[in-house]
Amino acid sequence: MSEKSTPAPADGAASRAADAERIAAGYAFDGDALAFGSVVLEATAYPEAQVRVPLAMMTRHGLIAGATGTGKTKTLQGLAEQLSAAGVPVVVADIKGDLSGLMTPGQSNDKITARNTDTGDTGWAPTSFPVEFYALGGVGTGIPLRASMTGFGPTLLAKVLELNETQESSLNLIFHFADKAGLTLLDLKDLRAVISYLVSDDGRDELKQLGGLSGSTAGVILRDLIALADQGGEDFFGEPEFETSDLLRTTADGRGMISSIELANLQDRPQLFSTFLMWLLADLFHELPEIGDADRPKLVFFFDEAHLLFDGASKAFLDAVTQTVRLIRSKGVGIFFVTQNPQDVPDDVLGQLGNRVQHALRAFTPDDAAALAKAVKTYPRTSDYDLSEALQQLGTGEAVITVLSEKGAPTPVAWARMRAPRSLMAQVDAATQQQAVASSSLQPKYGQEVDRESAYEKLNARVAAQQPAAGAPSKPATAPKSDSAPQQPKPAAHGNEDSAVAKVLESSAFKSFARSAGTVLGREIMRGLFGTRKR
């Protein structure tokens, strides 16, 4: 007979309960906190052992990862609800439309009741939350989100166009020229016209003065812009440009507004929507004042399908993302990247994500196994779980968690059964969403696209005033002679403006204007990390 007898089942249960309480003690905070759920040990949930994250630490950024169908979206939904209830505005990217249910109270059923029992959520009640729906360029059901081309900047645009580093550098020079010349770029048409001018006979001198910009590279960029326009890219650039301060609103009863950006209609243009979301963050970074450490965030931004942001990104782009993530927390903004695998996020960014929520990972292939091993290494050591096994055995709506305590130290690793959201875990019907958009106080501000007079239209008017009397022959338009820069197609939305622009580009008035703009109009736009405009 062995000297060490097997404990009785009751003793084993008591030991596991004590272990659960020990783990939960690492999540007992003095200040306000958001609840994830309860500790799980050997498939048993312990409702009294709560897993939480300090509200103040939501600015230390985070990662929500896991394979498809493991519960990432519901985790995001539950956190967004609690942040809103705490008075913190939230931004969510809704890839599939699943988060529209935030505006509608949830529905209780046997599964919800069982989940509430397991997680100790005795206060669960069907609850609706304030939601503002947005749609990039108005493509979808939401208030249109637009950016001017000048505001968007060259680094982000290069990511959308998937330019290489040489082409990205050339695009920076083009924006630099337009900025110094006082030529406001509102939409794709404006930028295409500037490039057409630079590769034309009249713009040859300016092209040489820029240095590092060849006519062939400019032609490649011009073709990419035309292709983007053909894919509907013109919808996203223009005015009124969205003011990111509108993401910081709270309701009359003190709840934070949840800004849901609908992306379901843009899944075939992932580079565009992921980069546009980064523009929102870059603009927030420029606009918000430094506040240092605060007891609650000013905003929490959930960046879904985060791998799309980093796929094919240039070094300059990745450096700018890394620096934005590092610095924006001091302005009260927390960022959570939501993706399938931690490897989707570059190490320099991953190292700044102090809060980790890892849903189940699969290990069907050697690459999967390597990703699993890497994920395990990102967690503190634990004797409570075999993390390599645990990450594969997690059930739907369960996650392995570690966060930063109020003192900034990592909490013990916890296998948690996650709380159920209190709003509807499904899409609302289209009519309900459309009604919410139509009744929004922001609809009059952003609903109607504006095509105000830009620099080129002003020049066109100036040249028209210098034209010969009616009936006199005018100089015919000529196409740029660069083989690499094809003539621009005529956008349907702008009628015959291209012919007018061509006249402007040919005119001596424009040539004189462009050369003297540095001294006449001459204030170069100040740009930040991503080359976005500083207002």
CA atoms of 280 and 92, how far apart (whole Å): 12
CA atoms of 392 and 185, how far apart (whole Å): 50
Per-residue pLDDT of the chain (535 residues; tens, 9 = 90+): 333 434 444 567 889 999 999 999 999 999 999 999 999 999 999 999 999 999 999 999 999 999 989 999 999 999 999 999 999 999 998 888 889 999 999 999 999 999 999 999 999 999 999 999 999 988 889 999 999 999 999 999 999 999 999 999 999 999 998 888 777 889 888 898 888 888 877 777 888 888 768 888 988 999 999 988 888 888 899 999 999 999 999 999 999 999 999 887 776 777 788 888 899 999 999 999 999 888 999 999 998 888 888 888 888 889 889 999 999 999 999 999 999 989 899 999 999 999 999 999 988 888 889 889 989 998 999 999 999 999 999 999 999 999 999 999 999 999 999 999 999 999 999 999 999 999 999 999 999 998 776 656 754 555 456 566 444 444 433 333 333 334 444 344 444 445 545 555 555 545 544 444 433 344 457 777 777 876 6
The residues near 460 (Cβ < 8 Å, ≥ 6 apart) are 500, 501, 503, 504
Report the candidate in 230, 190, 186 with the shortest Cα–Cα distance to residue 504.
Answer: 190
Domain ranges of the chain: 19-146+239-446, 149-237+453-460+490-520
- Across-strand partners of 144? 135
Contact 277, 309 (CB under 8 A): yes
Report the candidate in 161, 158, 135 with the shortest Cα–Cα distance to residue 146.
Answer: 135
Taking the CA atoms of residue 220, residue 226, residue 228 and residue 231 in that order, the dihedral angle to the nearest 10 degrees is: -140
Instruction: Give the pLDDT score at 112.
Output: 96
Which pTM value belongs to this model? 0.85
Q: Six-digit token pair at 303? A: 């960046």
Pairing relation of β-strands 90-94 and 299-304?
parallel
Pairing relation of β-strands 131-136 and 143-145?
parallel
Distance of CA 18 to the CA centre of its chain: 42
Report the candidate in 109, 96, 27, 22 with the shortest Cα–Cα distance to residue 402.
Answer: 27
Q: Please, what sign has the CA dihedral across residues 134, 136, 139, 143?
A: positive
Q: How many CB atoms lie within 10 A of CB 429?
A: 11
E strands, 78-168, are: 90-94, 131-136, 143-145
Q: The tokens 């922001």 sit on which residue?
A: 442
Q: How many CB atoms lie within 10 A of CB 513?
A: 21
The residues near 261 (Cβ < 8 Å, ≥ 6 apart) are 91, 92, 93, 94, 134, 135, 136, 142, 145, 277
CA atoms of 160 and 13, how far apart (whole Å): 55
CA atoms of 180 and 182, how far apart (whole Å): 5
Report the candidate in 272, 405, 283 with the shortest Cα–Cα distance to residue 333.
Answer: 283
E strands, 349-476, are: 355-358, 398-402, 414-418
The SS3 of residue 380 is coil
Report the candidate in 110, 118, 114 with the shortest Cα–Cα distance to residue 44.
Answer: 118
Contact 247, 133 (CB under 8 A): no
- Across-strand partners of 147? 237
How would you class 528 by CB atoms within 10 Å of its CB: exposed for 0-12, middle for 13-18, buried for 19 or more? middle
Instruction: Give the pLDDT score at 453.
Output: 67
Instruction: Give the pLDDT score at 361.
Output: 93
> In Å, what is the CA distance from 317 to each residue of 43, 169, 270?
43, 12, 16
Query: Can you name the CATH fold of 19-146+239-446?
Result: Rossmann fold (3.40.50)
- Across-strand partners of 533? 527
CA atoms of 436 and 260, how far apart (whole Å): 12
- Across-strand partners of 52? 35
Report the candidate in 411, 421, 332 with the shortest Cα–Cα distance to residue 52.
Answer: 411
Pairing relation of β-strands 333-339 and 62-65?
parallel
Which one-letter amino acid corresponds to residue 472? A
